[in-house]
Structure 1
């Protein structure tokens, strides 16, 4: 797995456009014609994963063409175009003229020639490129979705949140976890396209559950010390049942309550180790981290970290003093 960062400004102005389109050829084979050669700018990051490429790009107004010759070099991939700002008009062989703007997605069969015009002075977009073989279980829904603009449904939002988060964290994840996440993207894409019932059930058991759990954990983190934080409150925010939330955490060998307690204990541990918070009492820190029962906090802290809160604070302050 690797992450590539490419900027048009890195190339000599005399060859900037040609050099840039050669550099991004790992994701797409296109001829780029800027509205203004001298002012052309683009910044792109590409993630190369098993059975998947992700891309985040920003570029100026331009036209792009995929000729028959370039299309023949792309392989049998499906590219998901997701405009974040600006937008484009597109025509591909066998399709119709379409316009794609933020709030919609376009599924591009890379093996077909076509052309596009990017409208805005600044165009931000996110891309996924997936070999067609990984989407085969979607059945007829795949072919029916190609060369068409689709609205961003809840299923697409679920996929895109997961995919963009994965793209941002790629450089920090171990290879085996990246491979697992890549398979989740395949499943979520099948779901978003409106797969057959059989394919949907397969995907629901993997990618959708993983994305749901990731979104719920992120929400927990943002509301970690809120007194409202419980499974019912989170379930209502995500329009799912508390029972489904319990099943998600059970699949990881824990419970919602234990997961929240663990995250709060880690937060308390960080604050106790922070010299800047040494003037706060241990009970104040416990309460600020969402613990209302101090006896339970002390017992749980010692069981988790093998030391009392007082011992952890003393060791951290001693280490900070010695480092001066």
Structure 2
């Protein structure tokens, strides 16, 4: 996996536009014409993985042209344009003039020439490129969506949120974890495009469940110190059944109870070593972290970290 950036401001001012145009033509297969050449700014962070390419781009007003020659140099990929802010108009061969704004997705057959215009002084668009072969089981939905916009449905939002999170964390992931996450992105795209039942069930077993579990864990972090944190409460907040919630954690190799305990133990560990909490007793820290039984807390803490809470505190404030 590879992550790299393209920044116009890193280029020599006198030749900034020409050099940036050359880079964009080589990497993005686009010819870019800034609306204001002197003040044009663009920054793109690209993540390359087997099966997907992701790019988070922020730039000022410009026109992008995928010429016949540049289109011939692209692969047989589907490029998904998802505006985060700003927006653009686009027309590709065989299509019609389309406006794409935040809350929409444009589905681009990447090998087709076309022209897009970005009028906003700061457009932020997230792109995901997926080989067409990976989307074969969603062919009917894909063909309907090509060269057009579609609403950012809940399925597309799951796709976007998961892909953006992966893009952000990519530099910190082990290669095998990143490849597994790339498969989740593909599955979520299948679901959003209306794949066959078999493919949708596959997505439900991987991509959708992974995205749902991520949302559940984020909700747990918000409620971590609450004495009311239970599977029933989190399930109700997430709009799923407690049984489904338990199955999410079982598929992740840990029960809901053990996951919550591990997060609370880590919170307590950090506070025990933090001078900000030095005036608090160990029992107060344990209670604040959500542990009602001090002896159980001490036993779980030593099992998790190989040291007692007193040991951790003593090491933090001596020497």
Q: When the two structures are superposed, what TM-score results if normalisation uses the length of structure 2?
A: 0.96
Aligned length: 319
Shift of 1:170: 1.0
Partners of 1:4 and 1:133 in 2: how far apart?
A: 26
1:299 positional shift: 2.4
Number of the residue aligned with 2:182: 182
Matching residue of 1:302: 302
Are the structure 2 counterparts of residues 175 and 317 from structure 1 closer, same or farther at C-alpha, using a change threshold of 3 Å? same
> Deviation per CA, 1:16-51, whole angstroms, max 9, x where unpaired?
223223324565211111111111111111111111
Structure 1 residue 216: Cα displacement: 1.3
d(CA) in 2 for partners of 1:204, 1:64? 37
Distance 1:88 1:139 in 2: 26
User: What is the distance in 1 between the residues matched to 2:18 and 2:230?
Assistant: 55
Query: Would you say the 8 A contact 2:24–2:31 is kept in 1?
Result: no
Q: Counterpart of 1:99 in 2: which secondary structure? A: strand
| Corresponding position: 1:80 with 2:70 | no
1:227 CA displacement:
2.6
Distance 1:27 1:217, change over 3 A: farther
Cα distance in 2 for partners of 1:312, 1:232 equals 34
Residue 31 of structure 2 corresponds to 31
The answer to whether structure 1 residue 6 and structure 2 residue 6 are counterparts is yes
Determine whether 1:315 maps to 2:308.
no
Mapped partners of 1:226, 1:28: distance in 2:
48
In structure 2, stretches of 5+ residues that fail to align are none
Correspondence for 2:284: 284
Distance 2:22 2:214 in 1: 36
Measure, in 2, the Cα distance between the counterparts of 1:53 and 1:282.
48
Question: Partner residue of 1:230?
Answer: 230
Q: Aligned-pair distance for 1:260?
A: 0.4
CA-based RMSD of the aligned residues comes to: 1.5
Task: After TM superposition, give the deviation of residue 109 of structure 1 in Å.
Answer: 0.8
Q: Tell which deviates more after alignment, 63-72 or 217-226.
A: 217-226
Work out the CA distance in 1 between the residues paired with 2:225 and 2:83: 35
Specify the SS of the correspondent of 1:228: coil
Cα shift at 1:148: 1.4
| Alpha-carbon distance in 1 for matches of 2:26, 2:183 | 20
Which secondary structure state, in structure 2, belongs to the residue aligned with residue 65 of structure 1?
A: strand
Task: Please say if 1:92 is aligned against 2:106.
Answer: no
Q: Tell me if structure 1 keeps the 8 A contact 2:34–2:63.
A: yes
- What's the TM-score once normalised by structure 1's chain length? 0.94
Show the counterpart of 2:270. 270
Shift of 1:245: 0.8
Cα pair 1:27 1:129 within 8 Å, conserved:
no
Q: Secondary structure at 1:250's aligned position in 2?
A: helix
Q: Does 1:51 align with 2:51?
A: yes
1:116-135 → structure 2 map (5 Å cutoff): 116-135=116-135
The verdict on how the C-alpha distance between 1:101 and 1:279 changes in structure 2, with shifts beyond 3 A counting, is same
Could you tell me whether the CA contact under 8 Å between 1:54 and 1:127 is conserved in 2? yes
Equivalent pair of 2:62/2:119 in contact (CA under 8 Å): yes
Aligned to 2:219: 219
Gaps of 5+ in 1: none
Structure 1 contact 64–116 (Cα < 8 Å) conserved:
yes
Residue-by-residue CA offset, 1:198-254 (whole Å, 9 max, x unaligned): 211111111111111112112212321123322122112221111111001011222
SS at match of 1:286: helix
